[in-house]
Structure 1
Amino acid sequence: ALTDEVLSPNINLLEVLENITTMEKRMESMENEMERLKTENKDYKIKLNCLSLLDKEQAKELTSLNKTTVILFIKMDELMKQNQAPKVAFSASLLSSFGPQSVGPFHNLHTLIYEYVFLNIGDSYDPNTGIFTAPVRGAYAFRVFSKAFGSPERDVTAGLFKNDQHIISTHGHQASGFISSSNGVSLLLEEGDQMKVNLYPGQWIFDDGEHHHSTFSGHLLFPM
């Protein structure tokens, strides 16, 4: 019966074989497409992994850049504050007139008025009173140079005072010739604090408006 069916004139063997061949080709094509998709899927996973690693590296770089940016902003802020801080510096010598001259002695503490002003940035030193007034809270540096004639009876003793409180002194003694002494200090001053140099009772100090032997100087190191 099967033989009869195969040999039946209603069945075209060539057409059947052609259909089978076509189906086989389609199956082969589908298998190839599946292999291609599998390969692409692997490549896609590899790319995803690479992108994930790249994202992590970029995140690290971004974090590092953010930290660097913050540091730069802090430094810029510090520089801006420094630029905005007042510029304060002064230096003056005792006498403005030419020729050697001694000041003192006096019976009491005597505030020395340094008349000849070399520098007075910020106008915080008053050459009429000899007093420096701190314009801002901060660290300041001061220096005092004192010179005098040598004498058996007198010394050269001048003290730096902060708001009438003694801080440091210059002192020297010898019987003849010239004698000189210097001293310096850095201090934290509040706004409005006053600095001056007082000559002690019975002492004297020497200057010459041409050579400027005895001086009083100071400047702001940094505000606080």
Structure 2
Amino acid sequence: MQSILLICIMLVAPCCTEPHCSKFHYEESLLEKMIRTEILVQNMKKEIGDIQNQVRESLANLKEETNTWKTEIETLQENSKTKLAELSEKASSELDKNMQKVDDLKGRAVLPNVVFNAKKVINDSPGSGNTIVFTEIILNLGEAYSPDTGVFTAPHGGTYLITVQLCVDGSKYIDYGLVVDEVYMNVARYQDNHAVVCCYGSTTTVSLKPGSKVWVKVVNRSSSGTLLYGSNSNYWNTFTGVLIRVD
């Protein structure tokens, strides 16, 4: 009887002593946790990789945009330099032109002193086509009148006032012309129908270029005898000119 009871106890004991949380169950649970953890790690690695790729892509785009901005800024700077140089050159050119205008205006404001006045003809019976030469200089500022040739040479371009006075002997006449570079600018007849000397004068305004030449020429005259009469007391034959405006 005792032997039978002992056998029953031995058969029942292993079933009754095995715990619910066996080693196998623990290892299975641990393995499951490890697998889940590994899956989670893999997912995290994937997410981190995706984020890294996004960051790399963003950095690449940012670098490309930065290079584009840099290129655009350099282009703008270069264009600005070119435009600034063009504006500077244009301003300098305009300044030079304005300074030239100022100099021209200064030149016009300060009128050069050009005046001549000569009397006493070298020949009192000049023939037709001859130049009347006035030999005695009263005034010759600018030294532009020659008493040797009777020709005034304009030192400056501008407007001149020219006056001619001739004293014609009694009962004589003279047709004279004021000539500028071989062109008549004024022609007049001075005639005395009486047996006395009469003086006649005329004034002409002429526009001359630098180097233009002006003289008095006999166009026609009485047939013979003394034509022009002169004396220091009463009768002066004169040739006068003055610059009144510079071009």
Q: TM-score, normalised by structure 1?
A: 0.56
Counterpart of 1:103, as a letter, is D
Which residue number corresponds to residue 200 of structure 1? 219
1:50-93 C-alpha deviation (Å, 9 max, x unpaired):
xxxxxxxxxxxxxxxxxxxxxxx9xx867732465532000011
Counterpart selection for 1:104 from 125, 133, 150:
125
Partners in 1 of 2:103 and 2:202 — Cα distance? 36
Pairing 1:163–2:181 present: yes
Give how far 1:157 is off. Answer: 2.6
Aligned ranges for residues 75-224 of structure 1 at < 5 Å?
80-82=106-108, 85-95=111-121, 103-106=124-127, 108-151=128-171, 154-173=172-191, 174-203=193-222, 204-224=227-247
Give how far 1:149 is off. Answer: 1.3
1:159-218 C-alpha deviation (Å, 9 max, x unpaired):
211112111134222142122221111111111111001123334222124545110100
The list of structure 1 runs, each at least 4 consecutive aligned residues, that deviate by more than 3 angstroms after superposition, is 76-80, 82-85, 209-212
Counterpart of 2:129, as a letter, is L
Using a 3 Å threshold, how does the CA distance of structure 1 residues 150 and 208 change in structure 2: closer, same or farther? same
Segments of structure 1 that go 5 or more residues without pairing to the other structure are 1-72, 97-101
Counterpart of 1:137, as a letter, is G
Counterpart of 1:172, as a letter, is Y
Partners in 1 of 2:198 and 2:216 — Cα distance? 18
CA RMSD after TM alignment: 2.7
Structure 2 contact 118–139 (Cα < 8 Å) conserved: yes
Segments of structure 2 that go 5 or more residues without pairing to the other structure are 1-98
How many percent of aligned residue pairs carry the same amino acid?
23
Q: TM-score, normalised by structure 2?
A: 0.52
Structure 1 contact 124–133 (Cα < 8 Å) conserved: yes
State the number of aligned residues. Answer: 144
Partners in 1 of 2:180 and 2:107 — Cα distance? 27
Moved more, 110-119 or 202-211: 202-211
Structure 1 contact 92–114 (Cα < 8 Å) conserved: yes
